Structure 1
Amino acid sequence: MKTPHRAYSVHLLTATGAVLAMLALLEAVDYDWPMMFLWLVVAFMVDGIDGPLARKFDVWTHAPQVDGALLDLIIDYLTYVFIPAFALYASGLLGGWMGWFGLFAITFASALYFADTRMKTEDKSFSGFPGCWNMVVIVLFAIRPPDWVSLLVILLLTVAMFSDIRFIHPVRTARWRAVSLPVAIAWTFCAAWAAWTSFDPQGWAQVGLLITSAYLLLAGLAQQILARRAPEGA
């Protein structure tokens, strides 16, 4: 296969995320949350591999007619934000006014964040929480915390989107990648298993989700703290 064909095939792979989003939405409309999340996990996996392939085949040079970054953002908003927010509200996981608040806060704040040109840092991390609500909501489905805990998590992460707290990209952030990438893969496996077992509260996947999610949420902040202390100890 010629290089331009390989480059365009990466765009085609990215575009399959839109189909996966539609399949997830169809399951959500039928209130089949486990199947909805399984499709979102598949979309998450596609999103994890299309970036490295895009860089390997240099799509910016060999397939410039398609803006891969824009295509990726459109699909990410559907799979990371829009559908998970709908699931959070329609499932009743957050009841009453809290459900409305979560729905509006997630979609509104994420639209602003996704358009922010400062979202990426020099070390390929994210400045502010990167709107990975698909990961947040599947954990909430798996552990079923009290409503006020879910609301507090949503509120804190929404505020964090517009902070200078860093959040790692498991593939692109070079520091600790030898740990971050396996943790991200473990999170994906736990998320898929939790959905496959219809979020069985006795399943081990819930513990795995909590541990891996904690690392993915806090690793960037830990790196910031260590970087600030390094000159003091030098």
Structure 2
Amino acid sequence: MVESLATAPASKVSLLRRFLGWCVHAFTASGIAIAAVILYLLVQGGPDAFRWSFLLMILATLVDAVDGTFARAVRIKEAVPSFDGRRLDDITDWLTYTCLPLMLIWRAGLIPEHTVPWLIAPLLASAYGFCQVDIKTHDGYFLGFPSLWNVVALYIYALPVPPWPALYLLLLLAFLTFVPVKHLYPSMPGKLNRFATITGAVWGVLVVALVFLLPTSAEPERSTAERVMAYGSMIYPAFYMVTSWYITLKGWAQQPAPSTP
């Protein structure tokens, strides 16, 4: 994600750095263009709408994963001090990590039809998470479930998860947005975060392969190859969640007990 850095006087910024700064912002904004195509696919429908929507969500995630590196390289707040790239980044993430995945869950019929209004719960929970000032901790973690609804939608579709358990999972994760569990933040420093970055890259390749195996509907029976790929690729999300909870519980256990008067 785009990081804020100390600003410098605009007069001291070269035209090249200013140009490169705007190029970084344009790269971040490409996520909004990707979101527009996903929206078109989900509204228009068609035999490959869900498959292409998932592929474009992966592309948007890739943009989000590297734009911060580019921003730090050009010292973005110095290069373009008048433009808030972090706000642009949050708008893009809100669309590609939350709104569109939840819309896909609705359009693909992944939860019972009459329970669709319950999708407001993860939507509002994600809005709360995005607006939390301390959502990113000083030691390099996300607090609460980090609105990875694109990943949730993919596995509900790919396995597939039956409609009622899928709804319960969505509501549980929405609730966990409010629980101050430290979730790994792969782009931040730290051994676990670096390990999560490396293994996450391998997982990303598996996910792309999985998406190409997906049927055009959530209803047909899954092939053996697809089931093996889906369950095998779940090792990384399981590692992510288990490690995050382990770190949190360990931290809670090490907190000193309150003194009694």
- Determine if contact 1:81/1:107 at 8 Å carries over to the other structure: yes
- Give a deviation string over 1:140-179, Cα, whole Å, max 9, x none: 1111112232122111111111111111111115241332
**Is the alpha carbon distance of 1:229 and 1:83 closer, same or farther for their aligned partners in structure 2, counting shifts above 3 Å?**
same
Within-5 A mapping of 1:33-48:
33-48=50-65
**Pairwise CA distance, 1:208:** 3.3
Aligned length: 231
Q: Does 39-48 or 25-34 show the bigger shift?
A: 25-34
Give % identity: 26
The structure number with the bigger radius of gyration is 2
Give 3-state SS (helix, strand or coil) of 1:2's partner: helix
2:231 aligns with 207
2:38 counterpart (17, 24, 27): 24
1:77 counterpart (94, 106, 123): 94
1:9 aligns with 23
- Give a deviation string over 1:11-46, Cα, whole Å, max 9, x none: 111000000111111111233100111111100111
TM-score, normalization: structure 1? 0.90
- Separation in 2, partners of 1:137, 1:56: 33
How large is the Cα RMSD of the aligned pairs?
2.0
Give 3-state SS (helix, strand or coil) of 1:176's partner: helix
2:136 aligns with 120
**Pairwise CA distance, 1:228:** 5.0
- Determine if contact 2:21/2:74 at 8 Å carries over to the other structure: yes
- Determine if contact 1:84/1:134 at 8 Å carries over to the other structure: yes
1:100 aligns with 117
**Is the alpha carbon distance of 1:82 and 1:10 closer, same or farther for their aligned partners in structure 2, counting shifts above 3 Å?**
same
**Pairwise CA distance, 1:230:** 6.6
**Structure 1 letter corresponding to 2:170:** I
Q: Does 19-28 or 145-154 show the bigger shift?
A: 145-154
Give 3-state SS (helix, strand or coil) of 1:126's partner: strand
2:174 counterpart (158, 162, 165): 158
Extract unaligned runs of 5+ from structure 2.
1-14, 216-221, 257-261
1:130 aligns with 146
- Give a deviation string over 1:187-208, Cα, whole Å, max 9, x none: 3222222222225542243023
Within the alignment, does 1:225 sit opposite 2:239 as a pair? no
- Separation in 1, partners of 2:213, 2:39: 20
- Separation in 2, partners of 1:217, 1:46: 23
- Determine if contact 2:184/2:192 at 8 Å carries over to the other structure: no
Moved over 6 A (4+): none
2:193 counterpart (174, 177, 181): 177
